[in-house]
Amino acid sequence: MTETIHSPAPHGKQMLSEQVYAHLRDAIMGGRYAPGAALKPQDLAREQGVSLAVVREALVRVVGEGLADRLPNRGFAVPSFSDQRWQDITQARRTIEPVVLRLSIEHGDLDWESRVRAAHHRLVRTPTHAPEEGEHYSAAWAEAHRVFHRTLLEGCGNPVLLETFDRMWTASELARRWAAQRDPDRDAPTEHARLEEATLARDADTAAELLTRHLTTTGAALTTTPHDC
């Protein structure tokens, strides 16, 4: 049963919009809306007990994060598996991130090495799933995963490149969760372990190759049917 949001608190519309946005983001990321499903403002306003203006503001935010599409004359919808954006993002990440990883390996210091090891340890020790969060990866694991990949690149010392990573990561988060569901036999822990090992060994060629393969596998899962995985 959907929890109803009651009357405005101190920040009024802004606070309500934030709550509806959080609800939508969690619902989409948690798989409560199927790929391609319509996000109907009127239904959401009724379910959440808020105005259409509040819902539309929240929807614009999830569209901006790549978690929904705004369709001309058709309202809002969750993106589909076949959306070309996922392959475009994968191509961009395969082009940029291995290069940044090479720079990180070249310039990263001992403190960076320690942070890479700590981020990987946190990733390994964080449960991938939480019963209360359904079948998708838990929010805690998703954050540990993000931190590990970002820490690998932080040795580059270039904030512009890291901001580019941040934007691409956010844009691809939904596809990453879908890919995991469509390729349940993938051994991601081993992929991460090998990536950490090559990075800390300062083996830039191997690390870049492993990262490229890691990103390619994620994108490929979205080009197959679930029965092919």
What is the per-residue pLDDT across 20-78, written as a single tens digit (0 to 9) for each?
999 998 888 877 888 889 999 999 999 999 999 999 999 999 998 888 889 887 789 99
Residue 4's pLDDT is: 46
Residue 13's pLDDT is: 67
3-state SS assignment for residue 28: helix
Residue 134's pLDDT is: 67
Residue 5's pLDDT is: 47
Q: What residues pair up with 71 in beta bridges, in sequence order?
A: 75
Which ranges in the chain belong to alpha helices (H)?
A: 12-29, 41-48, 52-64, 84-107, 110-125, 139-154, 159-182, 188-200, 204-221
Residue 10's pLDDT is: 43
Low-confidence ranges of the chain (pLDDT < 50): 1-10, 226-229
Residue 47's pLDDT is: 92
Query: What amino acid occupies position 50?
Result: V
The HSE-up count of residue 168 (CA atoms within 13 Å, CB side) is 21
User: In the sheet that 38-39 helps form, which strands lie side by side, from edge to edge?
Assistant: 38-39, 75-77, 69-71
Q: What is the value of pTM for the model shown?
A: 0.79
